[in-house]
Each structure stands twice: as C-alpha cells, then as structure tokens.
Amino acid sequence: MPINNRIADFHDEITEWRRTIHQHPGLLYDVEETSALVSEKLREFGVDEVVEGIGRTGVVAVIKGRKTESGRVIGMRADMDALPIVEKNDSPYKSKYEGKMHACGHDGHTAMLLGAAKYLAETRNFDGTAIMIFQPAEEGGAGGLAMCEDDMMARFGIQEVYGLHNAPGLPVGEFAIRPGPIMAGTDEFTITITGLGAHAAMPHGGNDPIIIATQMVQALQSIVSRNIDPLKSAVLTVTAIHAGKAYNVIAQEAQFYGTIRTLEQEVRDTVIARLKTIVEGIAQAYGAKVDIDIKEGYPVTANHAEQTNFAAGVAKEISGDSKVNVDRAPVMGGEDFSYMLLERPGAFIFMGNGDSAGLHHEEYDFNDEAIPVGSSYWAKIAERSMPAG
C-alpha cells in the first residue's frame, strides 16, 4: 500500500492549508502567520505538547505513540519561510503580499508535515515519541541553527532527525537521496587591498592594488586545481572586482569578492586556509595591506549512512524500488538542515515536484499532487523507526 489511505483522505484538507500558507508568506523569522496556523492546527489535532518560540518563531510539537517503552525519539523537520520575490502565477491562491512568495515550496513542506502530525496524533501507531519541527528562516537566516541554539535537540530528547525538500524536474512520487554530502557548504569572501596610489605615469611611486588584486585572483585558481583532491568537489568563484576611477590615477584600493562551495568540511577548511595564505602572501610581497572577510554560510548537508538507508527504505515502501534514486548527485546549493545534521544523525531527502518551474523562480508553485507522498513519507518515518510491535 504505497500511499497511506487515511492520509489520502486528508488530501483536500492539507491542500487547503498549503494554499492558505501560500497566500500569507513571511520572510526569514517573520513567519508569525504561518507559525500561528501551525500551532493552532497542532492543538486541534490533540498532540501532546506544542512549544512556540523555539528559534524565535519556530514551533515544535510532541506526539507520543501508544507506547513509549522503546525510548525512541525521532525528529521530523519542515521549513516555513518564503522568499522576497514578486509572484508571477495567477492562481486563486496567489500570494497576498506583493514581493513575498513561497517560491521554494516551504508552504508544501509545512502542510505535509502538518498532515502527518494529524495522522500520527489520531493513530499513535508507534512505540516512541515523534517530534514535529517547524522552523523559520531557512532562506539565509539560519533558523535551523537558531532552533538548535535554543537547545531543541536536548530539550526534546531528539535522537535522529529527518528533512525533506521538493525537487522540480523529478516526477511526482519519486524520491532521490544519497549518503554523505547531499548539499554544499556555502561561504562568501571579500578581499580588500589597501596599497599606495600614484600618478599613472609614475607607477614606481606606488604599489598598484589592481596589479596585486589580479595576481591574487589568478593565484586563487590554483586552490581547486592544485590543493584539492581531483576526486573531491570545490568551487571558488570570484564574482566581482572593483578598483579605480580615472585614466591617469593608480587607485589606492582594490576589492574583490566571491563564493566558495564545498561538499566536505575538510575540503572547505583547506580552501579557506589556502585563500588566506595566498592573499596574505601576495599582499606582503607587494607591500600592501589586505583585509580578508569570510562570511560563513550554511555547513555541508551531510547525510548519515544508516539513517539514509532507512529513509530510502521508507521512500521505496511508498513509491517502489525503481522510483527511489539512492545515488543522487549532490547539489551545490546550501540548506540549513545541515545544522541539525551536525547535532544528530539523520537524512535529508528530495521528493519529486514534477514538471514545475525551478526553485526560487517567480513562476514556481508547489505541486499539491505530491502532498500524499510527502505526508505518507513522514508518517512512515515515525511508524517504521519506532515500530509498535
């Protein structure tokens, strides 16, 4: 029985929640309307506990199984925030807030986890405790980290944690996952060189920050090609370079910036360490001052082998073996579920959204046909990881 029958009964209701959330998008931590709806529904379902304000506007629900003798506690996470995009769709449930839009499908993620919460609170057919995590600020605000910093894992005794994201281009009803790194760690760097400007015709009077900056940009190319194992992945891209204003003046300052994407902490550490060494060394060689600012983004989202295997098994139970790709190539985008995976073993899975516009596109829409698939996945994650016997 691929899709849980009882959940199939809720399909219309969950779709309605999804569309209500879609109409009222909030950015980053400003998801009060969504978290209020989530809390209200959870109370209506009769879950054992609803805790608001974890990670500022996050919500955590506790659902105890018929038995809790196993002592097992499993966390399942959805994200609630939208993006600063003007929606171009003309659906009856289009965003009511101009310039805010659920363009990453977090409306669907939230509604599907709510659907599973309703089912689990009604049936309780497991031995242990299900923790439903609704987080704010996935889109660059590190809401997942904020919830962890509020001591969520220890407070609720979470032992394992699972996450899911819809995937445009993957047919509805299909899943994709892989053990190990599945999404990249992202960092941004800004390098500011302060040298000595001069008359363009008397360059020996200065030390030309433009020459220094271009030497640096060239030398940084050797990190990926010469310091990283060819069988591993890293991207270092300089995306901007700024200096100078006149034909006859050597600038006093040059600045460039860019992004680093890696799939392993060790590779990330190497790239950052080499960047610092190269930039500082060149600056010193030319007698200039350099300021290095590295803004750490989300860590690598790294799936744990055992939990990945378990999650893939659950997905196969719903969709069949041939519909679950267990060796999906990693995505070089970032995801802040990574913070939760640093604290507890778990797995992050992709679920098909069909032939929709891409994530973060102004015409993207979560595919409501995928709702029973996602809610069934969550219900089974709880029931299979904490079997009632």
Residue 213: which of 240, 246, 231, 233 has the closest Cα? Answer: 240
Token look-up 């993957």 returns 170
For residues 110 and 103, what is the distance between their CA atoms, to the nearest angstrom? 14
User: What's the gap between Cα 29 and its chain centre?
Assistant: 15
For residues 122 and 261, what is the distance between their CA atoms, to the nearest angstrom? 43
CB of residue 104 to Zn ion, shortest distance in Å: 3
CB of residue 381 to Zn ion, shortest distance in Å: 19
User: Smaller CB distance to Zn ion: residue 70 or 97?
Assistant: 97
User: Would you say 128 and 72 are in contact if contact means Cβ atoms under 8 Å apart?
Assistant: yes
Instruction: Give me the half-sphere count of Cα atoms (radius 13 Å) on the Cβ side of residue 111.
Output: 27
User: Would you say 251 and 227 are in contact if contact means Cβ atoms under 8 Å apart?
Assistant: no
| Burial (0-12, 13-18, 19+ Cβ within 10 Å), 14 | buried
User: Smaller CB distance to Zn ion: residue 27 or 61?
Assistant: 27
CB of residue 300 to Zn ion, shortest distance in Å: 16
CB of residue 339 to Zn ion, shortest distance in Å: 14
CB of residue 168 to Zn ion, shortest distance in Å: 11
CB of residue 299 to Zn ion, shortest distance in Å: 16
User: Smaller CB distance to Zn ion: residue 78 or 120?
Assistant: 78
User: Smaller CB distance to Zn ion: residue 121 or 176?
Assistant: 176
For residues 258 and 240, what is the distance between their CA atoms, to the nearest angstrom? 7
Q: Determine the interface stretch with Zn ion among 104-112, 128-136, 149-157, 258-266 (rule: CB under 5 A).
A: 104-112
For residues 387 and 269, what is the distance between their CA atoms, to the nearest angstrom? 41
CB of residue 55 to Zn ion, shortest distance in Å: 16
Main-chain dihedrals φ then ψ at residue 265, nearest 5 degrees: -55, -40
Angle, helices 106-123 vs 11-23, to 10°: value is 140
User: Smaller CB distance to Zn ion: residue 104 or 191?
Assistant: 104
User: Smaller CB distance to Zn ion: residue 28 or 250?
Assistant: 28
Q: Is 104 among the residues that bind Zn ion (CB under 5 A)?
A: yes
User: Smaller CB distance to Zn ion: residue 30 or 127?
Assistant: 30
Residue 203: which of 286, 290, 289, 291 has the closest Cα? Answer: 286
Residues from 151 through 190 that contact Zn ion (CB under 5 A): none
Structure tokens at 387: 């079997």
User: By rule CB under 5 A, what count of residues binds Zn ion?
Assistant: 1
User: Would you say 26 and 32 are in contact if contact means Cβ atoms under 8 Å apart?
Assistant: yes
Q: Is 113 among the residues that bind Zn ion (CB under 5 A)?
A: no
Q: Determine the interface stretch with Zn ion among 30-38, 99-107, 185-193, 230-238 (rule: CB under 5 A).
A: 99-107
User: Smaller CB distance to Zn ion: residue 143 or 209?
Assistant: 143
User: Smaller CB distance to Zn ion: residue 61 or 104?
Assistant: 104
CB of residue 359 to Zn ion, shortest distance in Å: 5
Q: Determine the interface stretch with Zn ion among 97-105, 151-159, 293-301, 376-384 (rule: CB under 5 A).
A: 97-105
CB of residue 39 to Zn ion, shortest distance in Å: 22
CB of residue 389 to Zn ion, shortest distance in Å: 36
User: Smaller CB distance to Zn ion: residue 108 or 209?
Assistant: 108
For residues 357 and 89, what is the distance between their CA atoms, to the nearest angstrom? 11
Strands 346-352 and 160-167: parallel
Measured from each CB, the residue nearest to Zn ion is 104
Q: Determine the interface stretch with Zn ion among 100-108, 221-229, 277-285, 314-322 (rule: CB under 5 A).
A: 100-108
Q: Determine the interface stretch with Zn ion among 103-111, 118-126, 213-221, 275-283 (rule: CB under 5 A).
A: 103-111
Residue 377: which of 112, 131, 183 has the closest Cα? Answer: 112
Q: Which residues pair with 185 in a beta bridge?
A: 262
3-state DSSP call for residue 186? strand
Contacts with Zn ion by CB under 5 A lie at: 104
